[in-house]
Amino acid sequence: MLAFVLRRLIQAVVVMLTVAFIAFMLFQYVGDPVTNLLGQDATVEQREQLRIDLGLDAPFPVQFARFVGNALRGEFGLSLRQGRKVSTLVVERFPATIELALSAAVIALLLGVPLGVYTALRRGSVGSQVWMTLSLVGVSLPTFLIGILLILLFAVIFKWLPSFGRGDVVSIGGWTTGFLSLDGWKHLVLPAVTLSVFQLALILRLVRAEMLEVLRTDYIKFARARGLTDRAVYFGHALKNTLVPVITITGLQLGQLIAFAIITETVFQWPGMGLLFIQAVQFADIPVMAAYLCLIALIFVLINLSVDLLYFAVDPRLRIERVAAAH
Amino acid sequence: MSTVLAPVKAPSRWARLADSDLWYSFRHSPTAIVAALIALLCVVCAVFAHWIAPHNPFDLATLDLLDARLPPAWVEGGSSKYLLGTDDQGRDILSALMYGSRISLFVGLASVALSMLIGVGLGLLSGFAGGSVDAFIMRVCDVMLSFPSILVALLIDGLGRALFPNAHESLAFSVLVFAIALTGWVQYARTVRGSTMVERNKEYVQAARVIGVAPLRVMFRHVLPNVLGPVLVLATIQIAGAIITEATLSFLGVGVPPTSPSLGTLIRIGQDFLFSGEWWITVFPGLMLVLIALSVNLLGDWLRDALNPRLR
């Protein structure tokens, strides 16, 4: 157990260092910070002085160590485009993205699991075939197109819902939330639904496949032979065992949601980190790109790590195998 | 006294194809036939856009601003000259669609080919060499897989932009293709590595080694043909993914250069006109994109099932 956790931790640290290295190389070789700060007309002496002041004359490993140290404290310098501190920018945008991603995950789970169970139990019925076809369309439709179609339908034609921004937000200790006002909720609906469609289709298909698999097993046959009601067999026995992989995948998909939020945020002009990142890519704003890269990598590494550890805790077979291998 | 046996004529490739299980399964799957027809139609429209498109959307001389923002022909105010309407510069949407899907298909196919090349090569190497080479390549795969492909593509694209700020158009295309390809190779590498490790220990490979065939030749002439089946299925499915990724990047404004708009660029341009009621500028490119992606996906699904011996 300890060895497993340790190995995972080391792997996580290696990934983070690699990402930090890529971010560092971005800083180092893309665009010259001295020219950026001083402009073209500075003298050679001025340049050299600034180079020493900035610590750019230090050997490579020292500079990298300094960069990692700064990154650990959240220091990524100034945004080239906006001239503000990158850390402030990211902290401002963070709540918007998290609220959007969490709402989408909740929608996907609340609809995906019941629909998956339904399509598995009523296999071949018209209703379940309709849902399966819809889920295939949901997987094939690009996120941005779903967003545009929803805007066309609900914002332009019916004029029911707003189509851009977060609306009224309430600030609680630096965390801005849209959950506390009706306007905020209205603004959340379309982006959250857009972001959830792909995950919804994925969870639906996953739950269905797992459910069908479990329903074929012997212990389900045995449960039926004992005379349990359908309800007890399906929900007491089958669904419970279906949910382990579903939880894993959903956990891993949370990272996907944050990444795909880039697209949704662009479509709906949602003021989150994704929008910040896209603007940084368009204008080659290296500090913002590097900070986003490191933050996203951190989120992904943390998610993967906790899913791995959870899996280890949940699935006893993994533990037994290790004990058996140790003997 | 010796009766000369009439040489048995080897069936031609077409005859073998017509007799194969694959063709049989194709003829008996309505979904596959419809999907193939739609995909074929899209490809023909795209490839021959120059000859069959009613207008040339890039020929500035033929554009007339008086024709701008015309609705489709069947809507009131539409003109039969422009079947699907025009955009804000008076470009014919139908023609722009044809030219746009040509660019989308080109980027999609090129990046899938490139990622197949990288993935199959590294997978073969990994499965064949084993040891620390294998471990290293697989760790890289793990890391790549733990990040969503769209993010990796965005990053590489952003990097390319930052490195070559005044890039020429063809360079922008290369960066884009490269970015999409670098996100897709992992799947191939893993599949090929798995089957290579199985094939490596089979007798025919050992036989080839025993008679002294060079390792590289064993790798490419003996093992490679036997691991290509699943790769083809994967490639079909990835084409749809690559086209969608390209459209997404172009939609986000970091894809193909604006002078040669792909479907994603057209959708991006059209989004601005959604609120003034000109829905056709964005909806038709969107439909075209879905049509291509869905038909290729369905074909891939069918191919996977048809080639999977377990499902027969």
Q: What is the pLDDT of residue B115?
A: 94
Say if CB A107 and CB A196 are below 8 A apart.
yes
Q: What is the pLDDT of residue B112?
A: 94
- Which positions in chain A touch B248 (Cβ < 8 Å)? 142-144, 263
Residue A162 has pLDDT above 50, yes or no: yes
Q: Indicate the pLDDT class of residue A265, thresholds 50, 70 and 90.
A: very high
Q: For a pLDDT cut of 70, what percent of chain B falls above it?
A: 90
Q: What is the pLDDT of residue A111?
A: 93
> Of the candidates B146, B159, B244, which has its C-beta nearest A300's C-beta?
B146
Q: Does B163 touch chain A (CB under 8 A)?
A: yes
Residue B311 has pLDDT above 60, yes or no: no
Partners of A170 in the beta sheet?
A177
Q: What is the pLDDT of residue A16?
A: 87
Q: Indicate the pLDDT class of residue A194, thresholds 50, 70 and 90.
A: very high
Best residue in A18, A140, A253, A299 for a mutation probing chain B (most B CBs within 10 Å): A140
- Which positions in chain B touch A136 (Cβ < 8 Å)? 294, 297
Q: Does A150 touch chain B (CB under 8 A)?
A: no
Say if CB A190 and CB A155 are below 8 A apart.
yes
Q: For a pLDDT cut of 90, what percent of chain A falls above it?
A: 11
Mean pLDDT of chain B: 82
Read off the pLDDT of residues B196-240 as tens digits, 9 standing for 90 and up.
888 888 888 889 889 988 888 888 888 888 888 888 888 888 898
Q: Does A291 touch chain B (CB under 8 A)?
A: no
With the CA atoms of B219, B222, B224 and B225 taken in that order, what torsion angle do they form, in degrees rounded to the nearest 10? 170
Q: What is the pLDDT of residue A167?
A: 79
Q: Does A199 touch chain B (CB under 8 A)?
A: no
Between helices B280-307 and B263-271, what is the axis angle to 10°?
Answer: 140
Report which of residues B229 and A190 the model is more confident about. A190
Q: Indicate the pLDDT class of residue A193, thresholds 50, 70 and 90.
A: very high
Mean pLDDT of chain A: 82
Read off the pLDDT of residues B100-114 as tens digits, 9 standing for 90 and up.
888 899 999 999 999
Read off the pLDDT of residues B122-170 as tens digits, 9 standing for 90 and up.
999 998 888 889 888 888 888 787 777 888 888 888 777 777 766 667 7
Q: What is the pLDDT of residue A127?
A: 87
Whether the complex's predicted ipTM is more than 0.95 is answered with no
Q: Indicate the pLDDT class of residue B5, thresholds 50, 70 and 90.
A: low
Q: What is the pLDDT of residue A19?
A: 84
Q: Does A129 touch chain B (CB under 8 A)?
A: no
Q: Indicate the pLDDT class of residue B312, thresholds 50, 70 and 90.
A: very low
Residue A189 has pLDDT above 80, yes or no: yes
Q: How far is B79 from chain A (nearest CA, A)?
A: 23
> Of the candidates A139, A144, A256, which has its C-beta nearest B148's C-beta?
A256
Residue B293 has pLDDT above 70, yes or no: yes
Q: How many CA atoms lie within 13 A of B168 on its CB side?
A: 2
d(CA B31, CA A124): 17
Please indicate whether, in this complex, the C-beta atoms of A140 and B240 are within 8 angstroms of each other: yes
Q: Does B243 touch chain A (CB under 8 A)?
A: no
Read off the pLDDT of residues A227-248 as tens digits, 9 standing for 90 and up.
888 888 888 788 877 877 787 7
Residue of A nearest to B279 (CA): A152
> Of the candidates B253, B267, B286, which has its C-beta nearest A282's C-beta?
B253
Residue A266 has pLDDT above 60, yes or no: yes
- Which positions in chain A touch B150 (Cβ < 8 Å)? 259-260, 262-263
Report which of residues B88 and B265 the model is more confident about. B265
Read off the pLDDT of residues B231-284 as tens digits, 9 standing for 90 and up.
888 888 889 889 999 999 888 888 787 777 888 888 888 888 887 777 888 888
Q: How far is A102 from chain B (nearest CA, A)?
A: 17
d(CA B309, CA B19): 17
With the CA atoms of A70, A297, A103 and A133 taken in that order, what torsion angle do they form, in degrees rounded to the nearest 10? 160
Residue of A nearest to B140 (CA): A15
Residue A130 has pLDDT above 60, yes or no: yes
Q: Does A249 touch chain B (CB under 8 A)?
A: no
Residue A152 has pLDDT above 70, yes or no: yes
Residue A103 has pLDDT above 80, yes or no: yes
Q: What is the pLDDT of residue A281?
A: 80
Question: pTM score, two decimals?
Answer: 0.82
Q: Indicate the pLDDT class of residue A190, thresholds 50, 70 and 90.
A: very high
The two tokens of residue B68 are: 């701008």
Q: Does A311 touch chain B (CB under 8 A)?
A: no
A vs B: CB pairs below 8 A? 105
Please indicate whether, in this complex, the C-beta atoms of A152 and B283 are within 8 angstroms of each other: yes
Residue B82 has pLDDT above 80, yes or no: no
Please indicate whether, in this complex, the C-beta atoms of B252 and A149 are within 8 angstroms of each other: no
Report which of residues B309 and A278 the model is more confident about. A278
The helix/strand/coil state of B266 is helix
- How far CA B183 is from CA of A35, A279, B143, B178, B250, in Å, comes to 33, 22, 11, 9, 16
Q: For a pLDDT cut of 70, what percent of chain A falls above it?
A: 89
